[in-house]
């Protein structure tokens, strides 16, 4: 019976050694997983910050496009008014030239 007890103790010691090795291995893997989780979290934060910056830049671009569109509309309006003034001036010059021509030829205007 002592041999059987020795055999059982040896078997239990071997089982404990394997259990401790498994626990140690799991502990190392858990630490590596924790490290990877930290890296993934940092990467996610950096990605979110990049998306926020990209969104801010898109909003700024949109604001500038709207400002440019407003300026184009103002420029178009100024050109339209200038064209109207030139047309009016052309009509006045034409009338003036016609009046001068009539005056020189002695005909009433």
Cα-atom radius of gyration of the chain, to the nearest Å? 46
Residue 23, token pair as written in the block = 């626990």
pLDDT tens profile 5-42: 888 889 999 999 999 999 999 999 999 999 999 999 99
99 in Cβ contact with 108 (< 8 Å):
no
pTM above 0.85, yes or no: no
Question: What token pair was written down for 49?
Answer: 């910050």
Asked whether the beta carbons of 84 and 91 are under 8 A apart, the reply is no
Render 62-88 in DSSP notation, one character per residue: HHHHHHHHHHHHHHHHHHHHHHHHHHH
């Amino acid at each position: 019976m002592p041999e059987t007890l020795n055999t059982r103790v040896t078997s239990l010691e071997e089982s404990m050694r394997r259990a401790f090795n498994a626990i140690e291995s799991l502990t190392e893997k858990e630490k590596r997983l924790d490290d990877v989780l930290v890296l993934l979290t940092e990467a996610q934060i950096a990605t979110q910050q990049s998306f926020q910056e990209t969104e801010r830049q898109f909003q700024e671009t949109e604001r500038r496009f709207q400002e440019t569109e407003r300026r184009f509309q103002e420029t178009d309006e100024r050109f339209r008014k200038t064209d109207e003034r030139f047309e009016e001036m052309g009509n006045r010059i034409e009338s003036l030239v016609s009046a001068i021509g009539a005056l020189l030829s002695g005909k009433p205007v």
